[in-house]
Amino acid sequence: MNVTLEKNGPTNAALKIALDETDYKPEVEKKLKDYAKKANLKGFRPGKVPPALIQKLYGKSVLVDEINGILSKTVNDYIRDNKLPVVGDPMPDREQADALDWDNQREFEFSYHLGLASEFEVDFSALPPVTTYEIQATDNQLDEAITDLQSRFGEQAHVDSVEAGDMIYGTFTGGESDFTEKSAIPTKQLTEEALALFVGKAKDDVVSFDIQKLFNDAKSLALATGKKEEEVAELSGEFSFSIEDITRNQNAELNQELFDKVLGPEKAGSEAEFRQQVAAIIQDNYKRESELLLRDDLRRALLDAIQIELPDDFLKTWLLESNEGKISPEEIEQDYDKFAEDLRWTLIRNRIAEDADVRVEYSEVLDRTKDMVRAQFGMASGAADDSMNDVIDRVAVGYLNDKQRKDNFTNMFNRVYTDKVMDVIREKAPVVSQTIDAEAFKAKAQA
Q: pLDDT in tens for each of the 447 residues of the chain?
A: 999 999 988 999 999 999 999 999 999 999 988 888 777 777 776 777 788 888 888 889 999 999 999 999 999 999 999 999 999 999 999 999 999 999 899 999 999 999 999 999 999 999 999 999 988 888 888 899 999 999 888 888 899 999 998 999 999 998 656 778 899 999 999 999 999 999 999 999 999 999 899 999 999 999 998 888 888 888 888 899 999 999 988 888 999 999 998 888 888 999 999 999 998 888 888 888 899 999 999 999 999 999 999 999 999 999 999 988 788 999 999 999 999 999 999 999 999 999 999 999 999 999 999 999 888 876 655 555 677 888 889 999 999 998 888 899 999 999 999 999 999 999 999 999 999 888 888 888 787
Domain membership of residue 329 (yes or no) is no
Please give the residue range of the domain that contains residue 271.
Answer: 264-309+356-446
Domain membership of residue 173 (yes or no) is yes
Which residues are registered as beta bridge partners of 155? 250
Domain membership of residue 69 (yes or no) is yes
Are 385 and 294 members of one domain? yes
CB 297 within 8 A of CB 133: no
Are 61 and 203 members of one domain? no
Which of 250, 272, 291 marks a domain boundary?
250
Domain count, the chain: 3
Angstrom distances, CA of residue 17 to CA of 3, 87, 107, 170, 359: 5, 20, 11, 84, 34
Q: Please tell me the distance from the alpha carbon of residue 212 to that of residue 218, in angstroms, as a whole number.
A: 9
What's the confidence (pLDDT) of residue 379?
62
Are 26 and 86 members of one domain? yes
Look up the CATH number of the domain holding residue 159.
3.10.50
Domain membership of residue 332 (yes or no) is no
Are 418 and 274 members of one domain? yes
Q: Please tell me the distance from the alpha carbon of residue 342 to that of residue 118, in angstroms, as a whole number.
A: 16
Look up the CATH number of the domain holding residue 35.
3.30.70.1050
What's the confidence (pLDDT) of residue 382?
53
Of 277, 296, 276, nearest in space to 288 by CA: 296
Are 380 and 404 members of one domain? yes
Domain membership of residue 340 (yes or no) is no
Which of 227, 250, 273 marks a domain boundary?
250
Are 293 and 373 members of one domain? yes
Domain membership of residue 319 (yes or no) is no
What's the confidence (pLDDT) of residue 108?
95
Are 15 and 61 members of one domain? yes
Domain membership of residue 318 (yes or no) is no
What's the confidence (pLDDT) of residue 154?
85
Q: Please tell me the distance from the alpha carbon of residue 397 to that of residue 319, in angstroms, as a whole number.
A: 35
CB 209 within 8 A of CB 224: no
Which of 116, 147, 178 marks a domain boundary?
116
Are 382 and 280 members of one domain? yes
What's the confidence (pLDDT) of residue 270?
92
Are 59 and 165 members of one domain? no
Beta-strand relationship, 155-158 and 167-174:
unpaired
Q: Please tell me the distance from the alpha carbon of residue 165 to that of residue 188, in angstroms, as a whole number.
A: 5
What's the confidence (pLDDT) of residue 177?
60
Are 407 and 439 members of one domain? yes
Domain membership of residue 335 (yes or no) is no
Chain centre to alpha carbon of residue 159: 48
Are 85 and 194 members of one domain? no
DSSP state, 382?
A: T
Are 164 and 225 members of one domain? yes
